[in-house]
Chains A and B, each alone.
Chain A
Amino acid sequence: MSAKFTRVGVAILLVIAASTRPSHAQVTDAPQVYVSALDTYVKTGDVTAGVVPLLSWRPKDFEVAIDKLIASGDASRMRAATVFHLEIGVALVGLNLGSAKLHLDIGEDLLGKARRTYTSQQALKDHDAFRAIWLAVAGSTYLSVKDIVRARLWLGEAHNLAPDSAHVMTVYGILDEVDAQGYNPDDWQTLVQRERNQRERIIRLGRAERSYRAALVIDPHYSIASSRLGRILQLNGKLKEAREALDRATADAKGAFQEYVAALFLGAVQHEQKDVESARRSFEHALSIVPTSQTAVVALAHLELMAGRPDRAQALARNFAAKSASDTWWAYKDGILDLAGLSWLRQRVRQ
């Protein structure tokens, strides 16, 4: 599915709609409009096109339409709707957490109700596998805006549903890794606070490392787990091991996203090892995959500055500034959003 959503696109449309529609107007044919929008999304893979007819909807309008969909017992459409609302939640989370939460809650509710339509063991098993990935993506969506509490809740549920999934195990590890960022040993007012930050950070990084290693036991070639493991090892100062893990991640990478994350993290390790030439190649590779990645630009420009090439650092920043009219790249910052899971869900809905 070639979903072409953009947070910005969706948000702009929502704002426009909100400004043009009478505040008390009600959607008279909500169920039909909703199904039509859903079918557009499934057919085109374009969540922005799908969401257009729903722009001015209030929560009540969704409630009416979704009740009707559930009553229809159409499992296929219900499943598609869960991904539709997930995509909208992903698109909105950095702009309006409340709206994002509404759509993620709708999707999660639909997932539970769709399960009741399945009767065979195989169908239930298949649905639970789908649900686990859905929950992992939703959890990572909260994680991408550092909403650790909600992320932990949803990822915990995903983990319970699929304890032997390398994918879910990896996203669970990312949760602890991001949580650890909240305990910055550089950021303290008292010595007690500094010690506490260091202690809490080590605990969380340790948990993340165990999750990634467990994921690699399940699937030794799971590139994202290798990437994240490499990152953790780097943060713990184990640079040689980190580089080995990231070399594995690079070799096992499937698709541009995994390759991008591996290149970014590998560059960071190489830079710390003072292997400037290799680090430069890695960051340039990351930038070639995602040309307007803010993170790749910052990483490469920082390397150039430290290597005594301030003119190159400035040129990179200027080139980036000339292009950065979009905040679309937030998701690629350091691979927190579970894009692999989202892509898998899209494919399943299109089948």
Chain B
Amino acid sequence: MAPSAGSPVKQVIVTALVMIAAAQPFDSAQDRQPVFRSTIDVVRLDVSVMNGLAPVTGLTRDQFVVVDNGVPQTIDSVLLENVPLSLTLLLDTSESMRGDRINHLIEAARALIKALHPQDEAALLTFSEPVKLAVPMTRNRNVMLDALGTLTPNGATSLNDAVFLGLQLRPESVGDATSVLLVFSDGHDTASWLRNGQLLEATRRSSLLLHVIELMPPNYAPNTTAQPSELLSALAKAGGGRHWAAQKASDLNDFFGKALNELRARYLLTYSPTGVSREGWHDVKVTLKNARGDVTSRPGYFAQ
């Protein structure tokens, strides 16, 4: 006996249409353009330089060395600080965030939003199994704060699909702003279409800076310490950002603060690639000369 499918798809479409009516359009200026286009004229690199937990400031163009596919490049410009942020918060609101965990997350995210500069803009994406654009990119802090206050945990975790969509939803152009995806998750993916390798490759192809804050799972065996996720670590590396792992929810405020501090201390390097093939994957290495610090930047970029 094999029941036929009937028309459940159609039924849910009716429901979805109702929900769509309440949806807000994604806010993006018509004239925005992607940073990386079919040909790469100028490469922009967001670079962090840290000395322990302290950002290293005051570095000049001459103190950076950029090597693109093995070929040293001439840096055109270096900008530091006062670069506005175009920040997308991608927050895990799956079932495992119930209780104090979601409250600490909301508190931490709200503190981060309040600490943004007036010229910064922010958007809010949430995910459990579905991914939802809760607040399109805006400078209106109250909209963000209100939306954060309504977060409710439920459902499984589509981490991979959510990060992928977050990368695709980056603002089309941010001018001189640093475009950042700040991912928060407390668990392993349980519900995505994309596999880990596919997500990492997509992240490498994105021009977005990607930071990750991880909250360790609530229920691991006594007398053991949960290990940070390999995937999240690799994801941050592929996105040129950092991966922080919080052992308890009450630490989240501190970690969100660290993430913002790091974003404020980033250098924006630009160069016009010379002596390298224009198409395909470019390995990029950034180091310092006559200066000390731990440099973090994207591992490269993909040119078409």
Contact = CB atoms under 8 A, between A and B. Distances in A.
A291 interface: yes
Give the residue among B3, B9, B14 with the most A Cβ atoms within 10 A. Answer: B3
A341 B154 CA distance: 25
B164 A298 contact: yes
B8 A339 contact: yes
Contacts of B9: 255-257, 260, 289-290, 332, 339
Interface string A210-254: 000000000100100000000000000000000000000000001
A129 B1 contact: yes
A11 to B, nearest CB: 9
Give the residue among B19, B196, B227, B231 with the most A Cβ atoms within 10 A. Answer: B19
Contact of A340 (B3, B172, B194): B3
A285 to B, nearest CB: 13
A113 to B, nearest CB: 23
Contacts of A33: none
Interface stretch (B123-131, B177-185, B240-248): B123-131
A294 B195 contact: no
A219 B5 contact: no
A320 B11 contact: no
Interface string A301-325: 1100110101101101110111111
B165 A320 contact: yes
Interface in A18-43: none
A255 B5 contact: yes
B264 to A, nearest CB: 27
Give the residue among A290, A291, A298, A334 with the most B Cβ atoms within 10 A. Answer: A298
A329 B168 CA distance: 20
A339 B5 contact: yes
Contacts of B196: 184, 186-187
Contacts of B168: 301, 305, 313-314, 316-318
B6 A344 contact: yes
Contacts of B25: 322
Nearest to A304: B168
Contact of A327 (B1, B28, B155): B155
B4 A329 contact: no
B16 to A, nearest CB: 5
B290 interface: no
A258 B231 contact: no
A41 B122 CA distance: 44
Given A308-B304, A339-B8, A340-B6, A325 B230 contact: no
A135 interface: no
Interface string A288-301: 01111011011101
B26 A318 contact: yes
B191 A302 contact: no
Given A324-B132, A325-B132, A2 B165 contact: no
B154 A94 contact: yes
Nearest to A136: B3
Contacts of B192: 298
A351 interface: no
B53 to A, nearest CB: 26
A328 B13 CA distance: 9
Interface in B109-138: 128-133, 136
A95 interface: yes
Interface stretch (A51-59, A70-78, A149-157, A159-167): A159-167
A199 interface: no
B37 to A, nearest CB: 9
A328 B132 contact: no
B191 A146 contact: yes
Nearest to A307: B304
Given A9-B15, A326-B19, A256 B7 contact: yes
A290 B128 CA distance: 20
A290 B36 CA distance: 31
Interface in B8-35: 8-16, 19-20, 22-26, 28, 34
B164 to A, nearest CB: 6
B47 interface: no
B133 A321 contact: yes
B128 A94 contact: yes
A343 interface: yes
A6 B155 contact: no
Interface string B135-179: 010000000000000000011101001001100111010000000
Interface in A90-142: 94-97, 129, 133
Contact of A317 (B20, B132, B165): B165
5 contacts: A2-B7, A324-B133, A340-B2, A340-B3, A344-B6
Top 10 nearest A-B pairs (CB, nearest first) are A344-B3, A343-B6, A255-B5, A326-B19, A317-B168, A325-B23, A327-B130, A321-B133, A257-B5, A256-B9
Interface of A: 2-6, 8-9, 94-97, 129, 133, 145-146, 162, 165-167, 181, 184, 186-189, 219, 222, 254-258, 260, 289-292, 294-295, 297-299, 301-302, 305-306, 308, 310-311, 313-314, 316-318, 320-334, 339-347
